Structure 1
Amino acid sequence: MLAPFACQPEASRGRLFTEQMSSFRSPFQRDRDRIIHSSAFRRLKHKTQVFVEHEGDYYRTRLTHSIEVAQVARTISGVLRLNTDLAEAIALAHDLGHTPFGHTGEDALELLMQPYGGFDHNAQALRIVTRLEKHYADFDGLNLTWETLEGIAKHNGPVTGPNADAKHAGPLPYALAEVNAMWDLELHTHASAEAQVAAIADDVAYSHHDLHDGLRSGLFTEADLMELPVTGPAFDEVDRLYPGLDKSRRRHEALRRVFGRMVEDVIAVAQGRLDAAQPKSVDEIRHMGTTIIRFSKPLYQELKAIRSFLFTRMYRAPSVVAMRAEVTQVFNGLFTLFQAHPDRLPEEWQADVAMAQDDTALARVIADYVAGMTDRFALQEGKRLLG
């Protein structure tokens, strides 16, 4: 009962390396399962969002975040009669390319890689699923379908052309260019509705759980959130319905209302836009020139106020900034050490080192290695190798 504008599994553009069809799983179900069983997905357990892994057991990791994004994506795509398996696969894969130490690690690696073609976590996710996972006998990577690769590459919108975001100005990240050269991902168009759902599910999930983690860390209080749009009315409603509720339950009840409002808003807006546009195929979705899955303008403005608050009170809190400086030093030290002494890379990486013909190729091998580290392993290696 999929909508005509959903990605139909039987109409998939297939895989780069031809495989026999499964008798009991669709192509997108196989993609999802391969992502879940990948080494890179397991490592997300010890990669963090804002806080560093050792700072607390209750903070979200990239793994728990990806699971939450997948849950939201399944809910929204199910209501809209999209392909839930494809939306879930893209959601589970969207953070595979992230470095240790959250955005701090990515900022550090982006700076280090500027002379060598740059670094982008979406492009790195493509590099992982097309090259760096080496478990199958017939191919490197996971040999995912074109639709899943497209979703990873451009779930946030076109990467090239007139509709591309300004942040994509300049040459393509080398990892994205390599994959696109193998298989044209039509980077100038929007992605499928399923990929757009995965992108908005990411926004919903992190907006919700960063509020949770910020409260748990003590960087701000419930009283602070009562001064903000969306969160303030949510706490007011809980206080009216459950006067005297204990702190933990009050917090949970309020933030689940924030979560619910975001999901309901996305569904209502998408249904309205789809009813107005009446797309007949997924290609019509791709060539609409705008996203079909988005927040309403009023809620978007309210969420901007919340994100501005989080940026000041959480992402740039003094304790977080101090930890950013510490882990950046570790990251820079490891990268520089491996550049000077590539023989210090593990034995299983030495074949790639031997194939590197110049400084750029070597830097990209090192970037693959350090980007794949977990928070815990990067700190251990920093202590072992740097002192």
Structure 2
Amino acid sequence: MKIREQIEQREKEILSPFASLASDSKGRKVFEAKCDIRTEFQRDRDRIIHSKAFRRLKHKTQVFISPEGDHFRTRLTHTLEVSQIGRTIARALNLNEDLVEAISLGHDLGHTPFGHTGEAILNELHPRGFKHYEQSLRVVDFLEHNKNRQGLNLTYEVREGIINHSGKCPSRSLEGQIVKLSDRIAYINHDIDDAIRANIIDERNLPKDCIEVLGSSHGVRINNMILDIVNMSLNKNEVKMSPKIGEKTEKLREYMFKNVYYNNIAKSEEKKAEYIIKELYKFYLKSPDEMPFEYQYSYSLENSSLEDRICDYIAGMTDRYVIHVFENLFVPKPWEKY
């Protein structure tokens, strides 16, 4: 028996009857022979980690645009925190950790530079709109190439979890539902941590009723949210919070929107970020030949519009690279005579 088959057999023996088994995966768009060692979900995790889009997350904004200091979260550290929280919940519920990890690591690959500011601007500019979770699926399905140029060719279950990690549609798998909750737990709590570090909010001003229920520190709140999900979801075909914890979590989220995400100090650079993305978008509409060659013409595997390809190019940029491109295009350089 191959090592992969031994792992698959253990999953059948150990995991919850509600778990997604790697051996029962609906498969990939393009058939591939299975690995002797890794399950299908483990292979997906590895493909995401080794992708260029994953590496670029380390230079993409989480909340604070180009923050000074080494301890503010980036899109990459956020992704790792989501993965850690998700795996903890999955293990406690006897669900498939590998699937949770793969979805977690891939869920934000389509995020733009400058965080949700960049997403909002591209959504405004593109005729059909722009959503980062849709772009994440586009990244793994198409924009990241393997040797056969078929995207990463991930399994149905990982792709379904990525597209449904945000928005109103729940994932069909419990593992996907875990990622959706883990994403919220991670960003609410680490954004509080970063906002306090940046002197945007004072810890003493957090909603008292939320703190009394959820906890007074970063670690305690995360632990209590996880414990609540586990207690509410163990041996059930749904992953959810209790009404009480869910209500206080949502109230804390609303507090963050009002006092951090829409805060004038935290968003002091937002207008500049908006301007950069708008100007690049308009420039490439007029001069598509200024984009890298692979974005200049409709992709061979699909009928992509120019607007699609501009969004692909800009959304894939890191914060520092989009600034570099803008400077090269619009900022005059000193003339030097040698």
Structure-2-length-normalised TM-score:
0.88
Equivalent-residue separation in structure 1 for 2:86 and 2:282 (angstroms): 39
Indicate the larger mover: 308-317 or 85-94: 308-317
Q: 2:34 touches 2:40 (CA, 8 Å); kept in 1? A: yes
Residue of structure 2 equivalent to 1:48 = 61
Offset, 1:386:
2.3
Q: What's 2:267 paired with?
A: 321
Matches within 5 A, 1:94-113: 94-113=107-126
Alignment pair present for 1:255 and 2:237: no
Equivalent residue number for residue 153 of structure 1: 163
One-letter amino acid of the counterpart of residue 346, structure 1: P
Aligned partner of 1:240 in structure 2 is: none
- Match for residue 374 of structure 1? 318
Deviation digits for residues 328-387 of structure 1 (CA, Å, limit 9, x no counterpart) = 000101111111111111234335489998xx7111111000000001111121222122
Corresponding residue of 1:118? 129
Deviations 1:170-225 (A, max 9, x none): xxxxxxxxxxxxxxxxxxx7420000001111011111101100100000112213
* Corresponding letter in the other structure for 1:35: I
Q: Does 1:61 align with 2:74?
A: yes
- Name the % identity: 40
2:260 equivalent to 1:297: no
What secondary structure sits across from 2:239 in the alignment?
coil
| Contact 1:50–1:102 (CA under 8 A) maintained in structure 2 | yes
Q: How far apart, in 2, do the equivalents of 1:300 and 1:332 lie?
A: 37
Over 3 Å counting, the alpha-carbon distance change for 1:353 and 1:7 in structure 2 is closer
The verdict on how the C-alpha distance between 1:231 and 1:30 changes in structure 2, with shifts beyond 3 A counting, is farther
Paired letter, 1:369: Y
CA distance in 2, matches of 1:142, 1:230: 42
Greater Cα offset, 222-231 or 23-32: 222-231
- Contact 1:54/1:376 (CA < 8 Å) preserved in 2? no
Number of corresponding residues? 318
Correspondence list, 1:196-207, <5 A: 196-207=177-188
Instruction: Give the letter for the 1:326 counterpart.
Output: K
Return the alpha-carbon distance in structure 2 between the equivalents of residues 36 and 295 of structure 1: 29
- Following superposition of structure 1 onto structure 2, how do residues 292-371 of structure 1 map, counting pairs within 5 Å? 292-352=238-298, 361-371=305-315
| Alignment-mate amino acid for residue 250 of structure 2 | K
> Residue 265 of structure 1 aligns to which amino acid in structure 2?
D
Alpha-carbon deviations, 1:307-327, whole Å to 9, x = none?
222112211111233311110
**2: CA distance, partners of 1:228 / 1:96:** 35
Asked whether the 8 Å contact 1:47–1:99 carries over to 2, the reply is: yes
The Cα shift of 1:41 comes to: 0.5
Structure 2: which amino acid aligns with 1:334? L
CA distance in structure 1 between the aligned counterparts of 2:214 and 2:176, rounded to whole angstroms: 31
What amino acid maps onto 1:301 in structure 2?
E
2:102 to 79, 89, 109: 89
Matched AA of 1:73: G
| 1:24, distance to aligned residue in structure 2 (A) | 0.7
Q: Is the 8 A contact 1:342 1:353 kept in 2?
A: no
- Runs of 4+ in structure 1 deviating by more than 4 angstroms, as ranges, are 351-357
Match of 1:14 among 21, 24, 27: 27
Which AA in structure 1 matches 2:20?
C
TM-score between both structures, scaled by the size of structure 1: 0.78
- Tell me which of 180, 203, 222 is aligned to 1:222: 203
Which is helix-richer, 1 or 2? 1
For 2:252, what is the secondary structure of its paired residue? helix
CA distance in 1, matches of 2:284, 2:300: 14
C-alpha distance 205-190 of structure 1, shift in aligned 2 (>3 A): closer
Give the AA of the match of 1:149.
R
Deviation per residue, 1:84-131 (Å, 9 max, x gap):
000110011110111111100000000001x2x221111111111111
AA at the equivalent of 1:261:
N
**Which residue of structure 2 aligns with residue 267 of structure 1?**
230
- TM-superposition CA deviations, 1:47-89 (whole Å, max 9, x none): 1111113443211111000101001111101111111000110
From the superposition, tell whether residues 355 and 385 of structure 1 become closer, same or farther in structure 2 (CA, over 3 Å): farther
Q: CA RMSD in A?
A: 2.1
- Taking structure 1 as reference, are residues 232 and 26 closer, same or farther at Cα in structure 2, changes over 3 Å only? closer
Query: Whole-Å Cα distance in 1 between the matches of residues 154 and 301 of structure 2?
Result: 26
Q: Does 300-309 or 363-372 show the bigger shift?
A: 300-309
For residues 262-313 of structure 1, give each alpha carbon's deviation from its aligned partner in whole angstroms, at most 9, with x where no partner exists. Answer: 11111111127x1xxxxxxxxxx5xxxxxx2121111111122212221122
